[in-house]
Amino acid sequence: MPSLTDGTATLTPARVRLALLALALGGFAIGATEFVAMGLLPNLAADLLPGLYAYSPDVANAQVGWIISAYALGVVVGAPTIAAAAARWPRKQLLLVLLACFTLATIASALLPTFGLVLVARFVAALPHGAYFGIASLVAAELMGPGKRARGVAIVLSGLTIANVIGVPSITWLGQLAGWRVAYIAVAALFAVTFVAVIVAVPFQAGDAGATMRNELRAFGRLQVWFALMIGAVGFGGLFAVYTYVAPLVIEITGLPAFAVPLVLIVVGLGMTVGNFAGGVFADRSVRRSMYAFFAVMLAALLLLAFSAQHLAGLLAGVFLVGASAAALSPTIQTRLMDVAHDSQSIAAALNHSALNLGNSLGAFLGGVVIAGGLGYLAPIWVGFGLSVVGLGLAVITFGIDRSRRRRGRPVPYGTALITVVDAH
């Protein structure tokens, strides 16, 4: 068990809790910066593309949507690159550098005058996203101690899920009242507060002295790493096929007024918050059983939503369970990645967020395809169901490979180390 110390002083339980709270606060700020643009697209379009917005608001909104895509692309690019390059850095110092980058890039997003410059700023602001969650998850796992890695990951991710309940609606409301630039200044302030909190509360943790970029990148040569990434990218796409089009689902299918959409999004966020903590607890007991169980819950939730979204109770129950099961899969998949990456722990912890952002893009894209094809606003739910089936199938394959290796007496992943199981026969 790693010693919970900061210099020569042993950490008290209160200090550990404060450190975990500081790390989760960073997740809260990231959740705000990632999702607040979705509620402020018309405001961004009217300010950054005024001529196009006056001619066609729909076209302007669609073009400003590139800001969301630019952020997702930044996550995909930055997560493995930064994690691999900086694996030897002391973890607290690396977190501070990442938070400083978040703060400055978010301020730039608020102040830059043109659409093109804001687009670049959002890409740059996303680069630290995956690396922050990856390194913060490693720090939290060490603070939590043996047998509680997934719960440590879940605590860091809790900031992201709580942001969907409190932060995103609040900052969206602020942006609607005072302007989208003020909203991003508020997000930058969250990052600045997190920077101070990490300085004060998070103990020193050395980086991996033996890590090199070459060693970290070896993770990409492992088949099981690719399976874990595909499970995240495809399986998690089931959530975003629904989440992206929840507004027309609420208005057109359930028949609720537009002001009900934020309330439904809060229900999704509550589900994600509950599911995130449940995923952390159950993944510490068994990653395999947890992954199977949460995929089963997601499939059942999508069926419930597909057949009962016309009714308020069915809508709320469906979106809550979809959010909960998807969020529970996140720490489960991240723990699996850390298991199968062997000694490439920094990049493994960060890659999960690249995979999930690919799932974001995939689910949103395929959901848009079926809507554009005239299949209606229930069709993205069936897209999500299909993606989740594929994700579950990939999980069955990857754990089947583990069983095959056990029968042959070859090493299988367990925790952050390897064990060899020899066939008793």
pLDDT for 241-289, tens place per residue? 887 778 778 888 989 887 787 788 888 888 988 998 888 888 888 889 9
* All structural domains of the chain with their residue ranges: 1-210, 212-417
Q: Is the pTM of this model over 0.75?
A: no
Question: Can you spell out the DSSP letters for 343-393?
Answer: T-HHHHHHHHHHHHHHHHHHHHHHHHHHHHTT--TTHHHHHHHHHHHHHHH
Q: Which CATH superfamily is domain 212-417 in?
A: MFS general substrate transporter like domains (1.20.1250.20)
CATH fold match for the domains 1-210 and 212-417: yes
> Which pLDDT value is given to residue 418?
38
Long-range contacts formed by 332-335: CB under 8 A, 24+ apart: 332/150, 332/279, 332/282, 332/283, 332/287, 332/290, 332/291, 332/294, 333/228, 333/231, 333/232, 333/235, 333/236, 333/291, 334/137, 334/150, 334/153, 335/149, 335/150, 335/153, 335/283, 335/284, 335/287
Q: How far apart are the C-alpha atoms of 46 and 127, rounded to whole Å? A: 27
> Which pLDDT value is given to residue 388?
93
- Model confidence at 205: pLDDT above 80: no
pLDDT for 23-47, tens place per residue? 999 999 998 998 787 767 778 888 9
- Which neighbouring-strand residues pair with 414? 417
The highest-confidence range among 39-48, 94-103, 213-222, 324-333, by mean pLDDT, is 94-103
pLDDT for 107-133, tens place per residue? 999 999 999 999 999 999 999 998 898
> Which pLDDT value is given to residue 185?
96
Q: How far apart are the C-alpha atoms of 342 and 122, rounded to whole Å? A: 33
> Which pLDDT value is given to residue 100?
97
Across the chain, what does the average pLDDT equal? 82
> Which pLDDT value is given to residue 2?
41
pLDDT for 154-200, tens place per residue? 788 788 878 878 888 888 888 888 999 999 999 999 999 999 999 99
Q: Which of 25-29, 97-101, 223-227, 365-369 has the lowest mean pLDDT?
A: 365-369
> Which CATH number does the domain 1-210 belong to among 3.30.420.340, 1.20.1250.20, 3.10.20.30, 3.40.50.10800?
1.20.1250.20
